Chain A
């Protein structure tokens, strides 16, 4: 190599010139050689660089491999998703959406239907393509039901829009509007319904839909009372329809992988689970009856069927505030419990199969949002599972967005789950004592991170990882693609309808999660320890 390069410039010399302009044959070869040596002067730097890179590489590999091997993670295999490879053959499923508010619209998007205005907006934002590449689910929205005529009209426009995943081949069926959900349930042209109404309708609508033989995807929470949950449980069980509760978090691949990692027992004995809500905006605190200018949002007694909206709830005069902010009032909802704790509980239930607790205590109050609401804006719930030696604790705060992440604590290590997984060894862990002493594990920082975007476990972590961990849970990464989790949850439901299988948040899981929320709500309202009688299956 050196020889060749040294000869290189000499070949130019017969022309009688060299770059330095030196003449004379005596000096020529001497100068060229010296020049060549100087030209190659940077090679030692390159050599040093290579040597250092190899040294660092060996150091990293040794650290990483010994930690991963020690933890038994070198052979772990994560389930592979078939997303994006599936054709949804079989019959077209015709869906009716009951309740076409903000959530109803999001669900329609996740099914593959979008309002033309939103399509235009997303096109400008550059995010339309991602949505159009969503798997085509072989469904048609053929019915929209809402008690507010504006929302009904809006739903019709969305369901009729021809721009959607599946392209031109997707069938275009006529869409009907209903102002009473019973009419939709009577319609033979509807195979399945999505319930996205305020919570106080969930119980009765689920019972009626199951009796009408329609498959059900119901938004959380399951229902507001023990009686309603028992009724809907029996109705769904007797009907044989496929029921899925809208707890889409389970579709985030991170939970499937966290389960695999937990099965390896890396955390030691798990005794405490902590979950949180950290929000600090008026929208996040469910003040939603005003638009961004502070004007009341649309809707009046003439455009909203108030009597039907109230349903079985106590009668009150028409109130646009109650219509939009129903979450605040115990006549219609259970506040933080039914809206957010339910997702947190579901996340932990999916990982550890918690079931219904032995007892629940709850405390808190309306300390910040003093707008006449019933719901607590600061809420603590403690679930006891004595037979599992385990406590689940929830702390919800609507007046601070300081990030507190979901944590599973064991005596050897703890696991934080956000959009990635971080496992940190406990500084007093018996299991990792030697590794900590040897400096291989630093208890001050995560020893393992798992990032689904990368698709691989990594034992080395950076500060950056920690920041990304706290990101939202609206999408997940499958085979390098960003995918909407609600879309995945609906997809699973539809697949189960076609294959006659049980979805992940089926009626049995929904029963547990619904009872948990009712217990927590009663503990807060009745200011007492609420228990569960596992023999007679009732709240005591």
Chain B
């Protein structure tokens, strides 16, 4: 009975909930490992990626690369931001914040080197892309997950005091 109520509350069928959970774990896993790999590789720096920058944020990227102090801060924030976002998505803690932050970060990656017509990059891309790439799709998936949250059902957010209780 109580379980049924919970599904009702979110209007998810069992298969919908399962699909959302699968998508959540996959994106969370991916983002968490992106962060973990950077922590484990002390040589990693975002400078190679930023050097590729074209289009809207290329000036900003150039500014970051040319300031070693700023680059260091960006590298730090990026690495630990990815870790925090990945953990938030998998464990369902502060899930909406994590998912939206993740979507924003991925969208910035996308803007750094969007596969628009006429833009060529020396870093090989994953597969063949035209306007849409993996970053953009993952960002959209995270927005979707934020709009269809599962963290109150399977996630640490369920253990947080509910904001909705006053309405009930």
Whether B165 contacts A17 by the Cβ 8 Å rule is yes
Whether A126 contacts B2 by the Cβ 8 Å rule is no
- Give residues of chain A (224-257) contacting chain B, Cβ–Cβ below 8 Å: none
Binds A, one of B25-33, B97-105, B129-137: B25-33
- CA distance in complex: A31, B40 (Å): 41
Q: How many A-B residue pairs have CB under 8 A?
A: 94
- Give residues of chain B (102-141) contacting chain A, Cβ–Cβ below 8 Å: 122-124
- A interface, size bucket: 35 or more
Contact of B59 among A8, A19, A27, A126 (CB under 8 A): A126
Closest residue to A17 on the B side, CB-wise?
Answer: B165
Q: Counting CB contacts under 8 A, is A187 at the interface?
A: no
Whether B159 contacts A38 by the Cβ 8 Å rule is no
Nearest chain A CB to B125's CB is how many angstroms away? 11
How many residues of chain B are within 8 Å of chain A by beta carbon? 42
Q: Counting CB contacts under 8 A, is A528 at the interface?
A: no
Nearest chain B CB to A453's CB is how many angstroms away? 7
Nearest chain B CB to A53's CB is how many angstroms away? 6
Q: Counting CB contacts under 8 A, is A374 at the interface?
A: no
Nearest chain B CB to A69's CB is how many angstroms away? 18
- Highest count of chain B CB atoms <10 Å: which of A43, A53, A129: A53
Whether A43 contacts B159 by the Cβ 8 Å rule is no
- CA distance in complex: A453, B75 (Å): 14
Closest residue to A11 on the B side, CB-wise?
Answer: B161
- Give residues of chain B (1-44) contacting chain A, Cβ–Cβ below 8 Å: 2, 5-6, 9, 25, 28-29, 32-33, 36, 40, 42-43
- CA distance in complex: A127, B153 (Å): 52
Whether A19 contacts B43 by the Cβ 8 Å rule is no
- Highest count of chain A CB atoms <10 Å: which of B9, B47, B158, B161: B158
Q: Counting CB contacts under 8 A, is A130 at the interface?
A: yes
Q: Counting CB contacts under 8 A, is A14 at the interface?
A: no
Whether A39 contacts B2 by the Cβ 8 Å rule is no
Contact bitstring A1-37, B, C-beta under 8 A = 1, else 0: 0000100110010000101111000010001001110
Whether B59 contacts A464 by the Cβ 8 Å rule is no
Q: Counting CB contacts under 8 A, is A57 at the interface?
A: yes
Tell me the interface secondary structure of chain B in the complex: helix
Closest residue to B40 on the A side, CB-wise?
Answer: A57
Whether B152 contacts A19 by the Cβ 8 Å rule is yes
- CA distance in complex: A17, B5 (Å): 15
Closest residue to B72 on the A side, CB-wise?
Answer: A480
Whether A126 contacts B159 by the Cβ 8 Å rule is no
- CA distance in complex: A12, B68 (Å): 49
Whether B33 contacts A49 by the Cβ 8 Å rule is yes
Residues of A within 8 A of B92 (CB): 39, 42
Whether B159 contacts A9 by the Cβ 8 Å rule is yes
Whether B25 contacts A45 by the Cβ 8 Å rule is yes
Whether B66 contacts A467 by the Cβ 8 Å rule is no
Whether A451 contacts B43 by the Cβ 8 Å rule is yes
Q: A22-B2, A480-B68 are in contact. Are A42 and B25 (CB under 8 A)?
A: yes
Q: A20-B5, A22-B2 are in contact. Are A126 and B124 (CB under 8 A)?
A: no
Contact of B66 among A12, A53, A130, A454 (CB under 8 A): A130
Contact bitstring B151-168, A, C-beta under 8 A = 1, else 0: 011111111011011001
Whether A20 contacts B29 by the Cβ 8 Å rule is no
Q: Counting CB contacts under 8 A, is A46 at the interface?
A: yes
Whether A17 contacts B168 by the Cβ 8 Å rule is yes
- Give residues of chain A (40-93) contacting chain B, Cβ–Cβ below 8 Å: 40-43, 45-46, 49, 53, 57
Q: Counting CB contacts under 8 A, is B56 at the interface?
A: no
- Please, could you name 17 A-B residue pairs with CB atoms under 8 Å apart, sorted by A? A8-B159, A17-B168, A20-B6, A21-B5, A31-B2, A39-B154, A39-B156, A39-B158, A42-B25, A46-B91, A49-B33, A126-B63, A129-B66, A456-B43, A464-B123, A467-B122, A481-B68
Sorted nearest first, the 10 A-B pairs with minimum C-beta distance are: A454-B43, A19-B162, A39-B158, A467-B122, A41-B154, A8-B159, A39-B159, A42-B91, A17-B165, A480-B68
Give A residues with C-beta under 8 Å from B.
5, 8-9, 12, 17, 19-22, 27, 31, 34-36, 38-43, 45-46, 49, 53, 57, 125-127, 129-130, 451, 453-456, 458, 463-464, 467-468, 480-482
